Amino acid sequence: MRVGIVCPYDWTAPGGVQVHVRDLAQALLEMGHEVSVLAPSDEETELEPYVVSAGRPVPVPYNGSVARVNIGPVSATRVRRWIRDGDFDVVHVHEPTSPSLSMLACWVARGPLVATCHSSVAKSRAMSAAYFILQTAVEKIDARIAVSEKARQTVVEHLGGDAVLIPNGVTCKHFASGSPLPGYPREGGTMLFLGRIDEDRKGLDVLLGAMPEIVAQRPDVQLLVAGPGDVEYVRRHLAPTIRDNVVVLGLISDADKVSAFKSVDMYVAPNTGGESFGIVLLESMAAGCPVLASDIDAFARVLEDGTCGALFRNGDSSDLARQALSLLADKPRRELLSDEGARRAEMFDWSTVARDVVRVYESVTAGGEKVQADLSGQTLGRLSRMGSDE
């Protein structure tokens, strides 16, 4: 099967959707399918052989963050050309309601079209105001996938209709092996935060707020902070009492992420909301690293309400500190969570998840129709209302 996949966000920027698309594409290739991924990316960036750049991304506020996307007539032309040249049996767009390549592909494509919704967002005035514009895109979708029950609810509440639930996947073999970072593991206990360090909903402030209490009882504890953002700002604003206990790594490679999981006693996910699943939890669990996470619904579901990882009250730094101290002092419990987490991660391995996605493809391609490209004047009118390329 020839599959075209549209990634809405900057291919080279860290993010759960990008990881999902990359891993899905690689799983499909291993299954023998032909895959092309269209994604925003700077033209000079070296990309995987199956990735086609749609041009330089621009920042757009979306879902409590700033997404780097492509939108506008120039991008629409590139989408049309990619579909025309791809001769795809099915096109699979991700986050079809985001102002991005995915929405453009929905407008431009004619033929078998599948969409995966990742976001879990409360209904907003902006979404309500844009309802009819969004409908012109999503009405062409033949099958919808949601990565979580929360994402499925978002589809139902915002767009109407329903979606089949196929969760995020993790390539367990990529996380099963790997060596710790130099100098790790270490005595005294080590924790890891991984996420965009300057995005409030990732919860770094909640974790840093717990550190004084943790350090007071375990003076040798260390917190590794990894992820994109203003590293120097974080370093400058660390409280003096915890400055020596926090190591800010900044953005790290995929290989170093695996090594980081292998280096620490636990991974801490203090996210405060806006998460529909939590792929990084599965990555940690696949690496054998115990998880301590906020009890937001998406994380509680992944961790089976505390069976496969520990939970603390969302936004409560004191409760985070108590749970972290308890885990650091209890090696048998950490080992149990490591075993249960690895078992849970195997349930989401891409070897299983990709087969479920292919079944959805097969359900919309039974008639043998190929995907065609069309760009009508009506579509160009919609683009003029959405914005233009720089």
47 lies in the same domain as 76: yes
Q: What percent of the chain has pLDDT over 70?
A: 90
pLDDT at 65: 67
pLDDT at 24: 97
Mean pLDDT, the chain, integer: 90
159 lies in the same domain as 219: no
65 lies in the same domain as 145: yes
Q: What is the pLDDT of residues 97-145, one digit of tens each?
A: 888 999 999 999 999 999 999 887 655 555 555 556 667 777 889 999 9
The answer as to whether 315 is a domain residue is yes
Residue numbers of the domain that contains 78: 2-169+349-381
184 lies in the same domain as 258: yes
Instruction: Kindly report the CATH number assigned to the domain that includes residue 276.
Output: 3.40.50.2000
| pLDDT confidence band for 68 (50 / 70 / 90) | confident
| pLDDT confidence band for 164 (50 / 70 / 90) | very high
pLDDT at 136: 72
Assess whether pLDDT exceeds 90 at residue 7: yes
* Average confidence (pLDDT) over 202-231: 97
The answer as to whether 389 is a domain residue is no
Cβ contact 256:178 at 8 Å: no
177 lies in the same domain as 126: no
* Average confidence (pLDDT) over 270-299: 93
252 lies in the same domain as 359: no
Query: Which residue did the predictor score with more confidence, 176 or 67?
Result: 176
179 lies in the same domain as 326: yes
The answer as to whether 39 is a domain residue is yes
Q: What is the pLDDT of residues 183-206, one digit of tens each?
A: 999 999 999 999 999 889 999 999
pLDDT at 59: 81
Q: Which residues are CB-contacts of 7 (< 8 A; sequence separation ≥ 6)?
A: 17, 18, 21, 37, 38, 39, 40, 94, 101
155 lies in the same domain as 265: no
The answer as to whether 386 is a domain residue is no
Assess whether pLDDT exceeds 70 at residue 34: yes
The answer as to whether 333 is a domain residue is yes
* Average confidence (pLDDT) over 43-58: 90
306 lies in the same domain as 353: no
Q: Is the pTM of this model over 0.85?
A: no
The answer as to whether 178 is a domain residue is yes
240 lies in the same domain as 309: yes
pLDDT at 381: 54
Number of domains in the chain: 2
Assess whether pLDDT exceeds 70 at residue 383: no
